[in-house]
Amino acid sequence: MEDYHKPDQQTLQALKDTANRLRISSIKATTAAGSGHPTSCCSAAEIMSVLFFHTMRYKVQDPRNASNDRFVLSKGHAAPILYSVWAEAGFLQEGELLNLRKIDSVLEGHPVPRQAFTDVATGSLGQGLGAACGMAYTGKFFDRASYRVYCLLGDGEISEGSVWEAMAFAGFYKLDNLVAILDVNRLGQSDPAPLQHHVEVYQKRCEAFGWHAIIVDGHSVEELCKAFGQAKHQPTAIIAKTFKGKGISGVEDKESWHGKPLPKNMAEQVIQEIDDKIQNKKKLSPALPEEDAPIINIRNIKMPSPPTYKVGEKWATRKAYGVALAKLGHANDRVIALDGDTKNSTFSELFKKEHPSRYVECYIAEQNMVSIAVGCATRDRTVAFASTFATFFTRAFDQIRMAAISDSNINLCGSHCGVSIGEDGPSQMGLEDLCMFRAVPNATVFYPSDAVATEKAVEIAANTKGICFIRTSRPENPVIYNNNEDFHIGQAKVVLKSKDDQVTVIGAGVTLHEALAAAEQLRKEKIFIRVIDPFTIKPLDKKTILENARATKGRIITVEDHYHEGGIGEAVCAAVVGEPGITVNRLAVSHVPRSGKSAELLKMFGIDKDAIVQAVKVAVSKSRNAE
């Protein structure tokens, strides 16, 4: 209650009037669109009115100002009321609201960062709070600024485990600049939410996670003003008891109205009823922020020095990742690292050792770790690198998918890929990760094969827009590139070639080294192969692959420590489809593996040097028989 001053009656009435105008705008927009969620908007009208026109401090005409308070609409289906707020504030034209959901309007069905006032895309429920935690962590520990972060959640999405991962994170780090507002309107999409209006249960749960939790009447602007005015040394959860469809007679608190716009005649009548409650047309203006967020620059980050590896030295690319990241941290103080309690395996611990204040431990909560990274990276405040075992990113795929919709610039490193990790067995083996990240729009997928390539991948990723994935391996393999080797996205390396080559073999990581060993063995039998390291699997260097395939009679063999589906083999097939005279033989992990030594498993799944030798001989003999 330290900073709370009760607003005068005139202000309270103005906030009530604003809430009702937001209701009207949301109903008009959804009825015009013929789709949308007016009832979900109406339950949040007073919350949005008080937040945007009493509590939050921001510049209306500069929504992405670094010092502005942040707002995340986790219940993204209530987008029309967010758009109505920005029209009420004067950033959007009122008439634009009637273009809601139209193909030529920026006002999409759920919030997206094409809108200047939206930092992260929401709509896949349960993800907004994680991103808000990332923003709040950045504000408190990196920017050390006074901006606050507000996140509005629906009661239905609170069933998502990712919400509680975020609650635990915020509680642990005492993010006292974060406020979550739970819009407890009782009703979900097809049924009531599990706790309905048992707001005291929500309160106990939030308190158990280390939050200061306040129950309010979510339709009382005075109670909301008072709750938002309470500052504690912990995150705050405002549990607002509301009614879905509040203000819509015959619909308020009734089931079967989720996601349904009001028919035109009904909308007109309801709008008139709500309009009759408005006492004053005067609009409120938000307070301005304290401009104390530092000016920063994250462009063109360069390693302070070249790599210092020796050709032939054995290094695991996972360790080279840690070395590179720690080094990059000296180039720019906005490079941050996140991990999910695997830092001594991914080697992000090397970054923590050198830059402890910029390392974020997210513990074993990979979904939340990705959301935290997304939040930290908003408004270009940080360059975030998050690492864990490659296979554990699969549980965060929805967060990664939404990060792409958010136009987020995050860098993810997945270590321990493939069967080559050995004895730990299939639960720890990343065998779907290339498939997953190749499917993400605008993603760049790096698969470095030695320590030098890994260091270059880290540097390039820091300067690349979109989602970057770096796939690293557990086994130690020899350094094959000189420290001055130049690497580029979409540019493969031909690591072995002669004029007598008969087959082109494409491998990456451990399988590139198996291919080089196979080449050595085949050379003794006067069979020569060309070996290609793709460096990036997406985009793939189609030109180099085709040129070399044509020079080796159209024969390509791909070999990868990954399942057949969606990996290097399929990427190469997609690149050469329709090209005459090209054949591709794919060697990959064919079924669920098991524990064993790395070499045993590579052999068992036919992706070791012996399998490559055999595949090359078959390809060459087929050709000879054809002749």
Secondary structure string (H, E, C) spanning 194-244: CCCCCHHHHHHHHHHCCCEEEEEECCCHHHHHHHHCCCCCCCEEEEEECCC
**Catalytic residue selected from 366, 432, 455, 459:** 366
Say if residues 333 and 96 touch (Cβ distance below 8 Å): no
Angstrom distance (rounded) from CA 569 to CA 263: 53
Say if residues 494 and 544 touch (Cβ distance below 8 Å): yes
Q: Which class for 308: exposed (0-12), middle (13-18), buried (19 or more C-beta within 10 A)?
A: exposed
User: Radius of gyration over alpha carbons of the chain, in Å?
Assistant: 28
CA distances (Å), 123 to each of 132, 369, 452, in order? 14, 19, 40
Region of residue 123 (left: phi > 0; alpha: psi -120 to 50; beta: else): left
Residue 360 pairs in a beta bridge with: 338
Q: CA triplet 394, 397, 401: central angle to 5 degrees?
A: 155
Q: Which two tokens stand for residue 180?
A: 């979550």
Angstrom distance (rounded) from CA 415 to CA 421: 10
Angstrom distance (rounded) from CA 575 to CA 569: 10
The reply to whether 366 belongs to the active site is: yes
Angstrom distance (rounded) from CA 66 to CA 54: 20
Identify residue 306 by its one-letter amino acid code. Answer: P
Say if residues 147 and 294 touch (Cβ distance below 8 Å): no
Say if residues 128 and 74 touch (Cβ distance below 8 Å): yes
3-state secondary structure (DSSP) of residue 153: strand
| Positions marked active-site | 366
